[in-house]
Structure 1
Amino acid sequence: MNSLIDAQYPLPHLAVALLLGLTIGIQRGWVNRNEEAGHRVAGVRTFALIALLGGLTTWLGEQMGEWVLAAGIIALSLVLIAAYVTSQRQRLDMSITSLIASMLTFFYGALCIMGEFSVAATMTVVTAILLDLKPELHGFLQKIRDEELDAGLKLLVMTVVMLPVLPNQGYGPWGAINPYEAWWMIVLISAISFVGYFAVKIGGPSKGVLITSLFAGLSSSTALTLHLSRVAKENQQHASLLASGILIACGTMFPRLLLVIYIVYPPLGYALAPPFAIMALCVYAAAFYFWRSHSGIKIEQPNLRQNPLEISSALFFGFLLLLIMLLSNALHEWLGASGVYALSAISGLSDVDAISLSLARLAREPEKITLLVASWGVFIAACSNNLVKAGLAWTIGNRQLGIKVAATLAASGASGLAILILSPF
């Protein structure tokens, strides 16, 4: 065993171990607070003592030999097993959560003696949170469907297996196709979209139009716009409330885009942060203004697009991404910046993620595309996408809804344009 930090003065280390044990013990004690004394396998005091046991056996192991630590682990395991078997005779409870938490607490105490305070404290907090999230995690499992779980696991397996072996170099014309980067970006967009997809699925309309729209914007703001526009056609008196929902979804697009762009190429994210922040602020402010007098009304569950973790969805986005990567290189080679802007405008009509990721990747190589051109390209794609949503609100919804949405998005675009023109790059 390596020399332990300040092993001759273990009291401060044991004090930290005691605090960590109390942290987990308080959580477990609160969960089992209604049970009679003596009917719990482990409570507040027991977890604190287990942490001390882990610390002391580790310290004694440094003085007397590693067998002391091994004996401590074995002794604790036997005690816990005996307590579990005894509790099974009194009531049928197959859960071993408290037993596992007890063993972890022992090792956290040992880590404190070894001087690994940050590891022990971090894992203690994570353990306490996981123990406390039992209702939420079980509720999550109740709401997820079999096909959604299968899709997520398949994509996860494909990522873990495929990503490390995919070649990380460019192929094809202009070296535009990089299999590793393409699949990595597919997973990134799918994961972010799934957060919104499942948040709407869990929360539902009962959480209110704004909350539903906020998370729907992470998955598909266009689908949410289409849904609320149809609702507005039958409920014209709620045009202001439904306009606020559409605008919240549209506004969510800006921080979402900044996040994925920053991950791919941070300088482009920094360049677009000022105009996108102003644009999002304008949209959110108008949404709040429209919502103030119409809060509390529920809407039907929006029918978002197919589960973004479905393999078919991921592969379709991958195909679209590779196509736009090729076209971005080709049009910039043939037509210069104007070709990129034209492609951005066209791509933004259907999907703003693919063109944004493509331009972010190209911007990493200044000889292919400058930061200025990439910034304008993403801005044009975002405005093009918002133009489609304004059109949906006007044509599918009603004139009142269309005016509110279109006027707000136009003002947002104008403010972003002014900021981008004044940008120093």
Structure 2
Amino acid sequence: MDEAVLQVGNGPLDERVVRIALAGALGMFLGLEREWSQKSAGIRTFSLISLLAAVFTLLALETDVGEGLLVLGGLLVIVQGVLLAVKGLLGEDDAGLSLTTSVSMLVAYGIGALVAAGFIIEGVTVAVLSSLLLVLKRELHEFAWGLSREEMRSTTEFAILAFVVYPLLPAEANLDLGVVSVPIEPQVIWLMVVAVAGIGIVNYAIVSTYGGRGIAVTGFFGGLASSTAVVGTMLDHVRQRPAAASYAVAAILLANAAMAARNLAIAIGFTVGGDTALLVEAIAPLGAVIVLAFVIAGLTADWHESGPMELENPFSMKNALAFGAVFLAVLVFGSLAESWFGTLGFYATAVASGFVSSAGATTSAVVLYRGGQLEPAEATIAILLATVSSIVVKAMLTATSSNRVLRNQVAVYSVILLLGGAVASILVVI
């Protein structure tokens, strides 16, 4: 070897021998489950297939005849897979299992080719995911067989939203309003629609298992990811089951608590151990919001009701799209406010960013504070404005609900959260 360090490109594992060995090891790993299940192809077969692909791929990269050998090897694996499938159809083995083994052999061949070509991470990822699919066979079958028609349709719709529509949208665009052109991010807006649908599916699974209490659980943990998206999910569930309004209110309050806790963690965590002082000014108001949200949620929802709650489907496509339209309107309003406020543009930006993600505004304020561009008071004000706008926008979105109990309680409790944060700030200053 000319080099003391084995690398792939500029990183570790560049030597061909190491790549060949890794390909064989990944093939062995993939064949482990097949061997354990006592299938016709096991550890040795899968390892040899990956080794064959690695050798042919290296030859294809270095010689003129390698490409033909790589294609020939792939055809041989396909033929072997077809023979196994035919064997299953003739009754000598389970047809479904034989087909799975056949496809797994082709995957092993692809893994060997990926690793030999230098795509180490990709090859390892494919091997791990493939092995996971094989091991979770029973769980996956039970999940699929237990899906209703509505659940299957919702799953398909979500896949279209997330994996078909989202990649096709532009990252940036301009919305011409005549007087002014507002820059928008279609992918960000659509990502919020996907988030509403995704949280709805997770919430549906939790509620189906744990009843009404699951809604509140979804509210908090969903709030850590996107507290605004939680509102869209709750609006859909209350539309399907009006009796769940008290749980939906609790979920939105807990989403606010999670949002405030996340912002506080960013404000404190990123100023610990640096040259700048801790943003202790943010502790009192954000802490007040967190405590009040938990207290009100604990007192308003009927936590004794833990039986199953029947929901029609995981999420409503119509509701998710409507939420996206409202969210677009909020973004446009925020952008206009930012352009109109002039010298107060930074604070206006914090407010507008809070409509989308208060975490983004909080992170920006902390970074500027650490760089000496903002004073502690200015950074704290920006963080609080982002938090306030996040609470307000959730109340505004909830106001579109036809359920009077939901929209009135969220409005009242949001005011209480804001007043509690304001009072805590005043007490600290005094």
TM-score, normalised to structure 1, is 0.62
* Residues 1:100 and 1:26: Cα distance change in structure 2 (over 3 Å): same
Name 1:326's counterpart in structure 2: 336
Name 1:55's counterpart in structure 2: 54
Residue type of the alignment partner of 1:89? L
Query: 2:355 matched to 1:353?
Result: yes
The number of residues matched between the two structures is: 372
* Residues 1:177 and 1:220: Cα distance change in structure 2 (over 3 Å): same
Q: How much has 1:201 moved relative to structure 2?
A: 1.7
- 1:357-396 equivalent positions in 2, closer than 5 A: 374-384=382-392, 396=405
Residue type of the alignment partner of 1:17? A
Note the alpha carbon deviations across 1:384-419, whole angstroms, 9 max, x for none.
Answer: 468899999xx959xxx99xx789947973698479
Alignment partner of 2:306: what SS? coil
Residue type of the alignment partner of 2:72? A
Name 2:187's counterpart in structure 1: 184
Name 2:111's counterpart in structure 1: 108
Residue type of the alignment partner of 1:298? G
Name 2:272's counterpart in structure 1: none
Name 2:226's counterpart in structure 1: none
Q: How much has 1:93 moved relative to structure 2?
A: 3.2
Q: How much has 1:177 moved relative to structure 2?
A: 1.0
> Is 1:5–1:113's contact at 8 Å kept on the other side of the alignment?
no
Q: How much has 1:372 moved relative to structure 2?
A: 6.5
* Residues 1:81 and 1:390: Cα distance change in structure 2 (over 3 Å): closer
Deviates more, 1:96-105 or 1:192-201: 96-105
> Is 1:321–1:354's contact at 8 Å kept on the other side of the alignment?
yes
Q: 1:131, 1:255 → 2: CA distance?
A: 39
TM-score, normalised to structure 2, is 0.61
Query: 2:297 matched to 1:298?
Result: no
> Is 2:54–2:113's contact at 8 Å kept on the other side of the alignment?
yes
Q: How much has 1:110 moved relative to structure 2?
A: 3.3
Q: How much has 1:353 moved relative to structure 2?
A: 3.5
Alignment partner of 1:163: what SS? coil
* Residues 1:254 and 1:420: Cα distance change in structure 2 (over 3 Å): farther
Q: Give identity over the alignment, percent.
A: 16
* Residues 1:27 and 1:176: Cα distance change in structure 2 (over 3 Å): farther
Note the alpha carbon deviations across 1:73-104, whole angstroms, 9 max, x for none.
Answer: 22222222212212111155398443232112
Residue type of the alignment partner of 2:25? L
* Residues 1:80 and 1:255: Cα distance change in structure 2 (over 3 Å): farther
Q: 1:178, 1:272 → 2: CA distance?
A: 35
Q: 1:329, 1:96 → 2: CA distance?
A: 60
- 1:59-208 equivalent positions in 2, closer than 5 A: 65-66=65-66, 67-90=68-91, 91-93=94-96, 96-132=99-135, 135-136=139-140, 138=144, 142=148, 144-146=151-153, 149-150=156-157, 153=160, 157-163=164-170, 167=173, 169=174, 171-172=176-177, 177-179=182-184, 181=185, 183-207=186-210
Name 2:326's counterpart in structure 1: 316
* Residues 1:28 and 1:174: Cα distance change in structure 2 (over 3 Å): farther
Residue type of the alignment partner of 2:121? S
* Residues 1:232 and 1:127: Cα distance change in structure 2 (over 3 Å): closer
Any unmatched runs of 5+ in structure 1?
A: 234-238, 260-269
Note the alpha carbon deviations across 1:232-278, whole angstroms, 9 max, x for none.
Answer: 99xxxxx9x9997665344244478899xxxxxxxxxx999965974
> Is 1:29–1:44's contact at 8 Å kept on the other side of the alignment?
yes
Name 1:18's counterpart in structure 2: 24
> Is 2:262–2:359's contact at 8 Å kept on the other side of the alignment?
no
Residue type of the alignment partner of 1:138? A
Note the alpha carbon deviations across 1:14-47, whole angstroms, 9 max, x for none.
Answer: 43223211222223445xx3xxx5xx35333332
Q: 2:393, 2:169 → 1: CA distance?
A: 32
Q: 2:166, 2:216 → 1: CA distance?
A: 30
Q: 1:51, 1:314 → 2: CA distance?
A: 46
Note the alpha carbon deviations across 1:104-127, whole angstroms, 9 max, x for none.
Answer: 212322344445433322222233
Q: 1:281, 1:93 → 2: CA distance?
A: 52
Larger RCO (alpha carbons 8 Å, 6+ apart): 1
Residue type of the alignment partner of 1:74? L
Q: 2:73, 2:357 → 1: CA distance?
A: 59
> Is 1:272–1:375's contact at 8 Å kept on the other side of the alignment?
no
Deviates more, 1:405-414 or 1:148-157: 405-414
Alignment partner of 2:307: what SS? coil
Alignment partner of 1:177: what SS? strand
Q: 1:305, 1:378 → 2: CA distance?
A: 28
* Residues 1:58 and 1:29: Cα distance change in structure 2 (over 3 Å): same
Alignment partner of 2:90: what SS? helix
Alignment partner of 2:144: what SS? helix
Q: 1:273, 1:80 → 2: CA distance?
A: 66
Q: 2:357, 2:117 → 1: CA distance?
A: 51
Alignment partner of 1:298: what SS? coil
* Residues 1:170 and 1:279: Cα distance change in structure 2 (over 3 Å): farther
Alignment partner of 1:213: what SS? helix
Q: 1:223, 1:407 → 2: CA distance?
A: 22
Any unmatched runs of 5+ in structure 2?
A: 1-8, 223-228, 266-277, 368-372
Q: 2:133, 2:212 → 1: CA distance?
A: 30
Residue type of the alignment partner of 1:53? L
Q: 1:314, 1:379 → 2: CA distance?
A: 21
> Is 2:219–2:252's contact at 8 Å kept on the other side of the alignment?
no
Q: 1:206, 1:192 → 2: CA distance?
A: 21
Q: 2:335, 2:24 → 1: CA distance?
A: 56
> Is 1:278–1:412's contact at 8 Å kept on the other side of the alignment?
no
Name 1:265's counterpart in structure 2: none
Q: How much has 1:193 moved relative to structure 2?
A: 1.8
